[in-house]
Structure 1
Amino acid sequence: MPQHHPPKTPAETAAPTTRVDSAIRAITDYIHGEGLKVGDRLPSEAAFAESLGVSRTVVREAFKSLSAMRIIEMRAGRRAQVCGFDGTVIALSLTHALRTEQINPPQMWDARRAVEMRTVALAAMRRTDAEATALVDLVARMRDSIDDPARMTEQDIAFHVAIAQASRNPLFPVLIASLTSAIRETNPMVWRHRRDEDTRREVVEAHAAIAQAIADGDPEAACAALAAHFDLASRALVTAGFN
């Protein structure tokens, strides 16, 4: 008679954990357990290899993976150190998703709108005089770059990240930098459909209205100006064929 075996548990059917995976967890546990901060150095690869009972090759691969995830930073001739929090990995992942059509530009803009409605309100309440001046300066640079889509795009990104920084929540600049990085993909195509100078200046003036509301310390006006800006951008995306 055929033997009946009980079904395997999820743990039994899961892919086996590799030594590199285990080393990655051990290294991150060490960072957190020792209370290491940004810039603090880690023990050497040799030290980790000895304490974990694995080869230096395993630890080296774990270090490379952690470096790619921006958890540690590796430099030639120096011990690895704890990396600062940034949006590099998120931005790469979002750009990949956009290029492989797992998400589309309107979906990205919708996510940005949801997050930035909060950042612009906080910026209006918390910005410093220097930050308000910096936003106005960025708008002036955008005016000077009206016929240069590449420069305009970089200043556009800088403008929205600066607003997020003025919110005083360190998570927002990372999220906004990650979400806005995708406009490097779409802006050149959208900008081609803004053929006349008046249409292009309309975009700059939308940013000017946001900057002014933040400088005035008026969160309601800042949210209204941002909403108008995103409405303008959404229509441009449709015109450019992004549905």
Structure 2
Amino acid sequence: MGEFDLITRYFKRPAVRSPLGVGDDCALLAPAPGMQLAVSCDMLVEGRHFLSTVDPVRLGHKALAVNLSDLAACGAKPLAFTLALALPGVDEPWLEGFGRQRDRAAKGFESARARMEQPTPRVALGLALRGIASSAVDVSDGLIGDLGHILASSGVGATLDADAATALIAVEAPSLSTEILRTCALSGGDDYELVFTAAPSARAAVEQAGEDSATCVTRIGRIEADAGLRIVDAAGAPVSQRFGSFDHFV
């Protein structure tokens, strides 16, 4: 049984105090008329979300960033955060670093590791897309899987341009093969970018939202009535390569 099958079987139930259902990035609570609180609680587990040798500064950054990313997908403005921390013992130098944040450079593997451990939650873009995006989710388990949640919840399908999705990675890593680039872009997780949908008539507004938030926004496909996800290349030819996404229990 996969992660999302487990959620559907044991935890999916009608929402009582929130307009969103189980499986959405945040719960929406209404503490008073005209007010909504978006609440997120994402866990990080050693061996799954970070390496045992992680720099505690980077882990502190990521622990907050992954939850801010959920808020970004809901177009919510961050207000406060709580921290749940499980430790095998007290390591004061480690804790001092965990509670502090700083920027550090790296090359090659270290560059990829820094991107994994210090993601940038797209809060500004999420806010700029209010009233423009018709759906949004942050990409944490892989583009294919997270886009699939949007399609399943909406009862629609899509055609995805694999080459458009890999364009930015190709610039940063020109030596990688097309197959590896596509695997990284479509199946790789821990991106914490936003994948969202909007009407064709909102294209100019989407571009403006990207400019206003200083975020690169790329059109990578289109929503269609026919169910399922169809992956094509820049010429529109079907891509035969198989892609998956992260699942905690598979």
| TM-score > 0.5 by shorter chain | no
TM-score by length of 1: 0.26
Which of these two proteins has the greater Rg computed from alpha carbons? 1
- Which one scores higher on RCO, CA 8 angstroms, separation ≥ 6? 2
More strand by share: 2
